[in-house]
Amino acid sequence: MNSSIDFTHDPAARSWVESANAPDTDFPLQNLPLGRFRRRGDHHPAAWRIGIAIGDQVLDFRKVAEAKIDLGVPLGALERGVLNAFLATGPERRQQLRHAVFNALGEDSPLQGALQRCLVPQSAIELSLPCRIGDYTDFYTGIHHATAVGKLFRPDQPLLPNYKHVPIGYHGRASSIVVSGTEVTRPRGQLKGPQDELPRFAPCERLDHELELGAFIATGNELGAPLSMEQAEAALAGLVLLNDWSARDMQAWEYQPLGPFLAKNFATTISPWLVTMEALAPFRAPFERPAGDPQPLPYLDGEFNRGAGSIDIALEVFLSSAAMREQGLPALRISQSNFRDAYWTLAQMVAHHASNGCNLQPGDLLGTGTQSGPGPGQGGSMLELSQGGKVALTLPDGSERRFLQDGDELTLRARCERPGARRIGFGACAGIVLPAA
């Protein structure tokens, strides 16, 4: 199973890359996330390559191959800059790479001298999506978000009857998924308020974010071949942060009866570093349903899922207006929550997606849905934080927000930490809102 704890999780282990030993780094030796990058300003088609983040540096696999440095594991597709093909080799190969890189970057590694020439400062690179995303499905696993939003529109029945029995999801658009740092243009669409006789075509007025995680598929399945819960767990490559930008006024008019469409597919931002399931192993937690809730159907149940299906990931959202940045004011944290509160696990999402024989492929992305918490200040969207636009948030520059305005920068962050384990992070998932075209 790709979630076992081994020597690579030793919290006392240190790297010869000194920045990786800083207590507040997202990328210590115990993390080793995968990403796709190129040197800033190098626009040659072959410039893109695969690397591993370590402190404030990146280990460049192509440089390792060119220098003929033997890590003890074949790099294969990694040296060619193709992450999809590497993910398709499965969890055992991924774990072998993790072990090899951990040893190579460890404090007493004999490869230090050779590998120092294969490091690239993160300040000198630009990042892309970690791999080619063939398909994208967005789930709705955050029960506190589903309940809060349901109360706004259906006070007598916030949760629909199927929610606690089936992982709800819809198919999104892969072509509009962008990497952190990409600007997001305010969409135009049909709007119709409760007092409007007819709809109008105009820029979105209730632009929102959604705090989510994104799960990448590694091995997938053949068409017509469902995945068991154990196979679903093994099919997971790792996680990124995901902001599913949403046009709430467009959504309210168009989503019935077929669900989300243009209100959701204009942009989805993800963080660039793929934090592997192996790195997340120390932060697994039991999956438990509240007393009295229905238990999952057998195809969505399993011993491992009950014992360690959840993952303890602390999530945060920060908002910065253009005026705040001009005044040098720090971004305001507007929300915090934890992925442990999700009603469905990652493996359940995968198993359900494939239960009808749908074929998942290496590089497919599954969004978790908005991860809100049960308390005040834990809403994962402005829709919740402003109670549907009724309550304004006051920013440090004195301005107010019910939904996002042009010039606003929205940043998601996440970290895993617990006693006896090294803190790891995900890097930033950020985007600035531009005016409608």
Q: Where are the beta strands (DSSP E) in 343-428?
A: 365-367, 393-394, 400-401, 409-416, 424-425
Q: Give the separation between CA 55 and CA 340, rounded to whole angstroms.
A: 27
Which pLDDT score, from 0 to 100, does residue 3 have?
61
Which pLDDT score, from 0 to 100, does residue 309 have?
98
Buried b / exposed e over 132-170, threshold 16 CB at 10 Å, is ebebbbbbbbbbbbbbbbbbeeeeeebeeeebbeebbbb
Report whether 136 belongs to an annotated binding site. Answer: no
If you search the block for the tokens 């003890």, which residue do you land on? 72
Which pLDDT score, from 0 to 100, does residue 1 have?
45
CB atoms within 10 A of CB 422: 22
Q: Give the separation between CA 165 and CA 79, rounded to whole angstroms.
A: 44
352 is catalytic: no
pTM attached to this predicted model: 0.97
According to DSSP, residue 19 is labeled G
Phi/psi-derived region of residue 64, left when phi > 0, alpha when psi is between -120 and 50, beta in every other case: alpha
| Nearest one of 1, 16, 49, 10 to 31, comparing CA atoms | 10
Here the tokens at position 301 are 């149940």
Q: Give the separation between CA 360 and CA 245, rounded to whole angstroms.
A: 24
Sorted by sequence, the CB contacts under 8 Å of residue 47 that are 6+ apart come out as 38, 39
| 3-class DSSP state of 394 | strand
- For residue range 31-69, list pLDDT tens digits in order: 999 999 999 999 898 899 999 999 999 999 999 999 999
- Give CA torsion, residues 290, 291, 292, 294, to 10 deg: 50
Report whether 288 belongs to an annotated binding site. Answer: no
Report whether 244 belongs to an annotated binding site. Answer: yes
According to DSSP, residue 106 is labeled B
Report whether 256 belongs to an annotated binding site. Answer: no
End-to-end CA distance of the chain: 48
Report whether 208 belongs to an annotated binding site. Answer: no
| 3-class DSSP state of 207 | strand
Q: Where do the domains of the chain lie? A: 7-127, 136-434
- For residue range 152-192, list pLDDT tens digits in order: 888 888 999 999 999 999 999 999 999 999 999 999 999 99
Top-level class of domain 7-127: mainly beta
Residues in the chain: 437
Which pLDDT score, from 0 to 100, does residue 153 have?
83
Buried b / exposed e over 37-75, threshold 16 CB at 10 Å, is bbeeeeeeeeebbbbbbbbbbbbbbbbbbeeeeebebeb
Q: Which residues pair with 431 in a beta bridge?
A: 410
Sorted by sequence, the CB contacts under 8 Å of residue 255 that are 6+ apart come out as 261, 263
Question: Which CATH homologous superfamily contains domain 136-434?
Answer: Fumarylacetoacetase-like, C-terminal domain (3.90.850.10)
Q: Give the separation between CA 48 and CA 126, rounded to whole angstroms.
A: 10
Which of the following is catalytic: 9, 144, 145, 209? 145
| 3-class DSSP state of 282 | helix
Domains 7-127 and 136-434 belong to one CATH topology: no
Mean pLDDT, the chain cut into blocks of 10 residues (437 residues total): 83 98 98 97 92 98 97 94 95 96 97 98 98 98 95 88 96 97 98 93 98 97 98 98 98 91 97 98 96 96 97 98 98 98 98 98 98 96 97 97 98 97 98 97
The type of residue at 420 is G
